């Protein structure tokens, strides 16, 4: 273990500061709007900070580092496309301008306004499935980081997971969106410093110029070339482009910030500014991952590679700063995500199913109960589920369950008058078909103790499966809408 008293002090100080901020902000929660969308008062720079910080979690660092470790600098294509998607949305206002004008809290609320309550509930169910399935990996990767970075014994794995979830749940339940936004800002600053300085240390380890020549030595030319890489290539670029656009407009932790922004203009600014930071958030951890692979000379155990590498090369003090910022990244993102999914559960599932009669106090209570429930599910999934591919691929698969139909329903709803409720149902059902089948089959196989890859997972390559899912989503919407008529076209 290389962490010294100085490093530990930095980590502990940070945890205390974050928990303190969460508790203080609790006093400011006066209404359900404060808890869910911070009173819709988020302005320019805080908006950028909170969006970047939430999308810059420990899980992001870990899966980008894993991609770098396994596939070389070619993995940077993920960041480039993601940044382009954010910039395009920010420049054009595509979708986000229209949805910000509606006084809603979740995208699924729009599905009810435009289509029907049933479509909203179906959308909510799919996003909750996608969200909770992805959260299991958040916890798993967080624990891998802590265990290897702090050299926690393997036997304490479950205890570590439980402790992490407990801290995150307490923190989220205490202050809701206000505490998340507040600590996001602090995290954004600390993290930015830590990421830049860590990268300097990583490049210095190999020599700035040697770094890239080493990559081609170890990964061959495809380590620098995403177009001809087995993992990426054109099919990935196609899939990931549609996926990234969906992420901007459908992913509740992101859209929650759209709804929290003061105006559509603020939204556009946030998206455009964030796009550049999305390049950085991919580049830095990918460099760390590549550095780890070069350092260890191996492609195995990719998830553990980055934390073990940084523990070996970072100097005293820098280790503490890095550890603290990563812990903060984990807290902020996990809390932000748990908060986002619990909001959906209450707003789009419990409240509509109970006839929309829940009072603010009841909604607040149900949101907190949901936070606890999600935390427990996270813990169960984090301990029990074993990843068969990279964490990034898994997250892509589970999120496509919702995105594939969701994008079609949202775009169709906003821009195609002919879109109908039947079309929306068909879009969700068709879009979710392939990824849901692959994920459910895998869970069933694992419950039976099998480590085999399932039939649906092998039916198509992951990129083609993703592309087909989006095509099925849009196909479902078009065909479903053409064969039916909408009695009430628009209720707003």
Partner 1 sequence: MERNDLPSAKDITFYQQNGYWLSPKLFDDKELEVFRNHHAAVVAGQYETKRPPLNREPDAGDVSRLVQINNAYWTDATIARLVLHPTIGKIAARLAGVKGIRLWHDQLLYKPPQSGKAGNIGWHQDRGYWLWLDNENALTAWVALDDVDEENGCMEVVPGSHRWGLLGEDHFYQQDIEQQTKRIEEKTGQPFKTQPCVLPAGCVSFHHCLTVHGSRANVSDRPRISIAIHLIPDGTRYKADAVSEDHTNNTLRQPNDGDTYAGPYFPVLFREDDPNANIWMSVKS
CA angle 61, 26, 323 (to 5 degrees): 25
Q: Shortest approach of partner 1 to residue 309 CB, angstroms? A: 7
Q: Does 207 bind partner 1 (CB under 8 A)?
A: yes
Q: Report the distance separating Cα 47 and Cα 382, nearest Å.
A: 30
- Select the residue interacting with partner 1 from 4, 9, 151, 166 (CB under 8 A): 151
Fill in the per-residue mask, 89 to 118: x = in contact with partner 1 (CB under 8 A), - = not in contact: ------------------------------
Q: How many CB atoms lie within 10 A of CB 92?
A: 12
* Alpha helical stretches, state H, 115-156: 117-149
- Select the residue interacting with partner 1 from 27, 153, 359, 488 (CB under 8 A): 153
Q: Does 206 bind partner 1 (CB under 8 A)?
A: yes
Q: Give yes or no for a contact between 139 and 331, defined as CB atoms under 8 angstroms apart.
A: no
| Three-state secondary-structure class, residue 280 | helix
Q: Does 461 bind partner 1 (CB under 8 A)?
A: no
Q: Does 308 bind partner 1 (CB under 8 A)?
A: yes
Q: Does 217 bind partner 1 (CB under 8 A)?
A: yes
Which contiguous run of DSSP H or E holds residue 245?
A: helix 233-250
Q: How many CB atoms lie within 10 A of CB 312?
A: 12
Sign of the CA dihedral running 347, 348, 349, 352: positive
CB of 166 or CB of 298, closer to partner 1: 298
CB of 220 or CB of 353, closer to partner 1: 220
- Select the residue interacting with partner 1 from 155, 359, 386, 492 (CB under 8 A): 155
The end-to-end CA distance of the chain, in Å, is 60
| Three-state secondary-structure class, residue 284 | helix
CB of 306 or CB of 468, closer to partner 1: 306
| Three-state secondary-structure class, residue 261 | strand
DSSP labels, 57-122? -HHHHHHHHHHHHHHGGGGGHHHHHHHHHHHHHHHH-TTHHHHHHS--SSHHHHHHHHT-HHHHHH
Q: Does 62 bind partner 1 (CB under 8 A)?
A: no
CB of 423 or CB of 454, closer to partner 1: 454
Q: Does 63 bind partner 1 (CB under 8 A)?
A: no
- Select the residue interacting with partner 1 from 165, 180, 282, 292 (CB under 8 A): 292
Q: Could you give the C-alpha distances from 212 to 140, 195, 215, 294, 300, in angstroms and in order?
A: 31, 19, 5, 11, 20
Instruction: Pick the piece of the chain touching partner 1 (CB under 8 A) from 248-256, 286-294, 354-362, 471-479.
Output: 286-294
Q: Report the distance separating Cα 366 and Cα 288, nearest Å.
A: 41
CB of 270 or CB of 308, closer to partner 1: 308
Instruction: Pick the piece of the chain touching partner 1 (CB under 8 A) from 11-19, 153-161, 259-267, 340-348.
Output: 153-161
Q: Give yes or no for a contact between 215 and 224, defined as CB atoms under 8 angstroms apart.
A: yes
Strand partners, 42: 261
Q: Does 295 bind partner 1 (CB under 8 A)?
A: yes
Q: Shortest approach of partner 1 to residue 381 CB, angstroms? A: 22
Q: Does 448 bind partner 1 (CB under 8 A)?
A: no
Q: Does 385 bind partner 1 (CB under 8 A)?
A: no
Q: Does 450 bind partner 1 (CB under 8 A)?
A: no
- Select the residue interacting with partner 1 from 94, 201, 296, 385 (CB under 8 A): 296
Q: Does 202 bind partner 1 (CB under 8 A)?
A: no
Residues 231-270 that bind partner 1 (CB under 8 A): none
Q: How many CA atoms lie within 13 A of 243 on its CB side?
A: 27
Q: Does 454 bind partner 1 (CB under 8 A)?
A: no
| Three-state secondary-structure class, residue 288 | helix
Instruction: Pick the piece of the chain touching partner 1 (CB under 8 A) from 14-22, 203-211, 378-386, 475-483.
Output: 203-211
Report the interface residues with partner 1, using CB under 8 A. 1, 70, 148, 151, 153-155, 205-207, 214, 217-220, 222, 230, 292-301, 304-305, 308-309, 451
């Amino acid at each position: 273990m290389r962490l010294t008293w100085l490093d530990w002090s930095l980590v502990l100080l940070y945890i205390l500061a974050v928990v303190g901020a969460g508790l203080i902000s609790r006093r400011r929660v006066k209404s359900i709007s404060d808890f869910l969308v911070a009173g819709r008062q988020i302005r320019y720079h805080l908006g950028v900070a909170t969006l970047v910080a939430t999308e810059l979690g420990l899980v992001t660092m870990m899966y980008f580092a894993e991609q770098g470790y396994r596939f070389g600098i070619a993995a940077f294509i993920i960041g480039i496309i993601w940044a382009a998607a954010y910039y395009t949305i920010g420049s054009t206002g595509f979708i986000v301008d229209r949805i910000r004008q509606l006084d809603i809290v979740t995208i699924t609320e729009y599905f009810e306004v435009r289509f029907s309550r049933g479509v909203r509930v179906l959308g909510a169910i799919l996003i909750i499935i996608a969200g909770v399935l992805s959260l299991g990996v958040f916890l798993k990767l967080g624990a891998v980081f802590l265990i290897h970075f702090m050299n926690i014994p393997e036997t304490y794995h479950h205890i570590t997971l439980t402790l992490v979830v407990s801290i995150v749940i307490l923190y989220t339940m205490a202050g809701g969106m206000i505490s998340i936004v507040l600590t996001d800002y602090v995290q954004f600053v600390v993290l930015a410093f830590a990421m830049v300085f860590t990268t300097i240390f990583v490049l210095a380890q190999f020599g700035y110029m040697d770094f890239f020549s080493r990559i081609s030595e170890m990964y061959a030319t495809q380590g620098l070339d995403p177009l001809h890489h087995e993992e990426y290539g054109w099919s990935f670029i196609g899939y990931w482009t549609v996926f990234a656009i969906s992420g901007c407009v459908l992913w509740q932790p992101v859209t929650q910030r759209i709804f929290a922004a003061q105006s559509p203009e603020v939204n556009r600014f946030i998206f455009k500014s964030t796009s550049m930071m999305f390049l950085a958030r991919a580049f830095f951890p990918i460099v760390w991952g590549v550095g780890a692979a070069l350092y260890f000379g191996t492609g195995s155990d990719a998830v553990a590679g980055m934390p073990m590498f940084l523990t070996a090369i970072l100097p005293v003090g820098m280790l503490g700063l890095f550890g603290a910022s990563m812990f903060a990244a984990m807290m902020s993102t996990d809390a932000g995500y748990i908060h986002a999914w619990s909001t959906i559960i209450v707003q789009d599932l419990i409240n509509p199913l109970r006839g929309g009669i829940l009072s603010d106090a009841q909604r607040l209570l149900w949101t907190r109960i949901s936070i606890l429930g999600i935390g427990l599910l996270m813990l169960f999934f984090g301990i029990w589920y074993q990843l068969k591919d990279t964490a990034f691929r898994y997250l892509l698969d589970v999120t496509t369950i919702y995105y594939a139909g969701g994008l079609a329903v949202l775009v169709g709803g906003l821009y195609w008058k002919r879109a109908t409720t039947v079309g929306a149902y068909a879009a969700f059902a068709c879009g979710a078909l392939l990824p849901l089948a692959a994920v459910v089959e895998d869970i069933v196989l694992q419950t039976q103790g099998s480590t085999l890859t399932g039939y649906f997972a092998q039916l198509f390559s992951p990129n083609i499966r993703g592309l087909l899912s989006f095509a099925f989503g849009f196909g479902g919407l078009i065909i479903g809408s053409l064969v039916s008529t909408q009695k009430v076209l628009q209720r707003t």
